[in-house]
Structure 1
Amino acid sequence: MAFPTHIVAVGGIVEDEQGNILLVKTRDGGWVFPGGQVEVGENLMDALCREIKEESGIDTTVSHLIGVYSNTGIHKWYDGVTEVPTKLMLDFVCKPVGGQLSISDETTDSGWVSKEKVLDFIAAPAIRTRFQVYLDFDGATAYMEYVSKPEFEIKHRTGISPR
């Protein structure tokens, strides 16, 4: 039996006081809310604040967890050889506390978009689905299993009610 390996990633839905959402345009995947992989020895909150700052220039605080997602599809990485392991993603609501909009090695644009128009920007089905969880959030943390390749498919979905 192989030793289990997962990629752990965090996503931040950053909403300002006017109800706008922070989006970044990636070099290879279009518009998304910021986030990325947690590095070895890094806690989730630090990883999320670091990723948001790196991708958008915005400083944030993390508020609360809204969704836990497993991408259990096995597919090849960009090199066409390496298999991408199961990816565990945790999405949090964040608040901006400073910084200036900017871009990075990973992003070509960043900006604030009204909450009602965000889905007009996001094309990736998994990101759209995860943002919809934010829009529908009622205090119950969502859990979803999906595969993104060859086509996006939700395998399991549930809400985890607060105590």
Structure 2
Amino acid sequence: MGWPTHIVAAAGYVFDNKGNILIVKTHHRGWDSTGGQIEEGENIEEGVLREILEESGVKAQIKCLCGIYSNVGKHLFYDGVTSVPTKVMMDFICEYIDGDLTCSNETSEVIWVPKEDALSYITSPAQIYRFKNALDFNGKVVYSSYISKPEFKVLSQRYI
């Protein structure tokens, strides 16, 4: 038996008190929520708050978990060589605390958009799916498995 073959990641859907959601333009995925891989020795909540701050300059606090996703598809990384392991992603609803919008080495733009307009920016089918679930969050956490390549397909979905 080898070492685990899953990447653990988290996304933060950050809302302000004016009905806006924070989105960032990434170099590989286009417009997206903030988030990324959890680092060794880091807990998931620390990781998502670190990613939010690194990618956007925003300090946030976690309100609640809204989704858990498994991307079980096998595909190659952006380099076209490295095989990407299964990803387990946890999505959190977060609240803005403070900070000025600032780009990073991972983001080229950082903006607040009215939450009803957010989906018009997102182009990845997997991100649209997760964004919809976060925007429609009703207090029930969704669990879903999907594949994102060669085309996006939901394999299972239920509330947990």
Range class of TM-score, shorter chain: over 0.9
**Counterpart of 2:40 in structure 1: which amino acid?**
V
Q: Which amino acid aligns with 1:52?
A: I
1:14-163 → structure 2 map (5 Å cutoff): 14-160=14-160
CA shift at 1:61, angstroms? 0.6
Normalized against structure 1, the TM-score is what? 0.95
Give the stretch that moved more between structures: 20-29 or 133-142.
133-142
Q: Secondary structure at the match of 2:53?
A: helix
Gaps in structure 2 of 5+ consecutive residues: none
User: What do the CA deviations read for 1:135-156 (whole angstroms, capped 9, x no partner)?
Assistant: 2222110001000010011010
The letter of the residue matching 2:79 is: D
Give the CA RMSD over aligned residues.
1.0
CA–CA separation in structure 2 for the residues paired with 1:20 and 1:61? 15
| Letter of the structure 2 residue corresponding to residue 91 of structure 1 | D
User: What is the SS of the residue equivalent to 2:60?
Assistant: strand
Distance in 2, matches of 1:56 and 1:26, equals: 11
Structure 2 length as normaliser, TM-score?
0.97
Q: Give a deviation string over 1:9-50, Cα, whole Å, max 9, x none.
A: 000000000110000000122100100000000011110111
3-state SS, counterpart of residue 130 of structure 1: helix
In the aligned structure 1, how far is the partner of 2:114 from the partner of 2:133? Answer: 16
Overall identity of the aligned pairs, in %: 50
